[in-house]
Amino acid sequence: MVAQRTDRIIVGLGTTGLSCARYLRAMGVEFQVVDNRQSPPALEAFRQEFADVPVTLGEFPQALLNDAKELIVSPGVSIATPAIREAEQAGVVISGDIDIFSRQVKGPVVAVTGSNGKSTVVSLLAAMARAAGLKVGLGGNLDGAEAAPALDLLRQDVKDLYILELSSFQLETTRSLNAEAAVILNVSDDHMDRYEDKHAYEAAKQRIFIGARHIVVNRDDASSQPWQDATRVLSSFGLSVPGAGQWGLLAEADDYQLVRAGERVLKASEMRIVGRHNLANALAALALGDALGLPLPAMQAALCQFPGLPHRCQWLRSLRGVDYYNDSKGTNVGATIVAIESLGEMLKGRLVLIAGGIDKEADFSIMKPVLQQFVKLAVLIGRDARHLAAAFKDSIEVIFAASLPEAVNMAASRAREGDAVLLSPACASYDMFRDFTHRGQVFAQAVEELQ
């Protein structure tokens, strides 16, 4: 039975859809919910909070969508879905949670996207802003206890600054973000199962610059550059010696100096996070903080104290001279390449890599150079393990495991003193786990149980 017409329909009932429902209810706006899954993840929580709101599950009801004034589409639902396209052609407004947020927020917003490093950069920038005494709203696509979906932030007290991690999916439905500062950290092949090609993926990320007052770019990645409005570029960061108004590195003996133009800011060895990718993340946060006018002492203090985030090249333990690292957040090829390079350059030995899951139609052949340089064995798991094996087989030895705990035991048996075992799947997790956090927890538990 199709529910009666309503002006607003939330499409997709996950974490974001639930936050949209809470926001609309707080604003006194009537709405309905549709989801093409029979058991969406937030269904039980939604029914407990909104027992009076109609929910339609299964195939999208086209007539209902076409009759709406606005569809609030969750990030997990592509706006290229035929039912969404038909509704748009019928004159229905297509929006998302970030689009609504940008129209209602009362404070300055920093927006961060990119294929890799987003969560670390926004969390680090939030620590810098708090060290400067600001009240910070942190969230968007970010997971973790300190983060919240964007619309949930609007239901809190007004903040001095809002810092959002944004996915390309969220940006698809964002028309006028108008951020105080915005950055695309980097772009590598990801979500090719959703986008026609890499250009379409990049185009979605470029939407972060719409209306931005200050644009920060990564000198080491051309995809970070805005396609339009380049005159609003305030500063840049990169792993090279910086010029005027730029952030970068100076190599000194066995260490690096993080510098702003010619000014030394911090030694890399003073930070708790490690690896060249984290040097880039630190420089990105510094460049954004600089654009916001945060005082340098506060940014330096935060950099020295920031411990890093779980599931992102997180050191777990050392056993018989072998270190174990959890990079479950490495859900795409680019992230895994960065993790392999960063750890491989530190090791006396070599890496045993655990990878696999849902491949998102990525090109794994581009991993061959780093595999050959740093990895001695790949233990593959998950639905698309054979796809990875086909790309890896001419580069390194490959074996298969039926589960992640089995993979940990197999990796431990082959690693030698000075080596490291790295979980960095280069794939999505949903074939075997609830999400990448669950995958990382299973890995950590298996590592802890090693004898």
Is the alpha carbon torsion for 361, 366, 367, 368 positive or negative? Answer: positive
Residue-level pLDDT at 166:
97
Q: Is residue 230 over pLDDT 70?
A: no
Q: Is residue 261 over pLDDT 70?
A: yes
Q: Give yes or no for a contact between 185 and 110, defined as CB atoms under 8 angstroms apart.
A: no
The CATH number of the structural domain formed by 8-95 is 3.40.50.720
Tokens 């061959």 found at: 368
Which of 65, 4, 63 lies closest to 34, judged by CA?
Answer: 65
Residue-level pLDDT at 169:
92
Q: Is residue 3 over pLDDT 70?
A: no
Residue-level pLDDT at 1:
40
Is 277 catalytic? The answer is no
Higher per-residue pLDDT: 345 or 38: 38
Q: Is residue 204 over pLDDT 90?
A: yes
- Side-chain half-sphere CA neighbours of 219 within 13 A: 18
Mean pLDDT of the chain: 93
Pairing of strands 109-113, 161-165: parallel
Band of pLDDT at residue 229, cut at 50, 70 and 90: low
Residue-level pLDDT at 4:
53
What are the pLDDT digits (tens) for 93-117? 999 999 999 999 999 999 999 988 9
Q: Is residue 57 over pLDDT 70?
A: yes
Which of 161, 136, 440, 131 lies closest to 310, judged by CA?
Answer: 440
CA distance 240 to 248: 5
Q: Where in the chain are all domains bearing CATH 3.90.190.20?
A: 314-448
Least confident range of 209-213, 316-320, 343-347: 343-347
Span 297-321, mean pLDDT? 91
Amino acid making up residue 335? A
Q: Where in the chain are all domains bearing CATH 3.40.1190.10?
A: 100-305
Task: Give every CB contact of residue 397 below 8 A, 6+ residues apart in sequence.
Answer: 376, 377, 378
| CA 129 vs CA 134, 300, 360, 440: distances in Å | 6, 11, 36, 29
Q: Give yes or no for a contact between 86 and 65, defined as CB atoms under 8 angstroms apart.
A: yes
Span 285-314, mean pLDDT? 93
Q: Give yes or no for a contact between 166 and 92, defined as CB atoms under 8 angstroms apart.
A: no
Q: Is residue 2 over pLDDT 50?
A: no
Q: Is residue 256 over pLDDT 80?
A: yes
Band of pLDDT at residue 196, cut at 50, 70 and 90: confident
Is 191 catalytic? The answer is yes
Q: Where in the chain are all domains bearing CATH 3.40.50.720?
A: 8-95
What are the pLDDT digits (tens) for 120-144? 999 999 999 999 999 999 999 987 7
**Looking at the domain covering 100-305, what would its CATH class be?**
alpha beta
Residue 145 sits at φ, ψ, to 5 deg, of -65, -30
Task: Give every CB contact of residue 184 below 8 A, 6+ residues apart in sequence.
Answer: 113, 114, 205, 206, 208, 209, 217, 218, 221, 223, 224
Q: Looking at 116, 186, 191, 214, which residue is catalytic?
A: 191
The CATH number of the structural domain formed by 314-448 is 3.90.190.20
Q: Is residue 192 over pLDDT 70?
A: no
Residue-level pLDDT at 6:
75
CA distance 248 to 216: 13
Residue-level pLDDT at 181:
97
What are the pLDDT digits (tens) for 355-398? 999 999 999 999 999 999 999 999 999 999 999 999 998 899 99
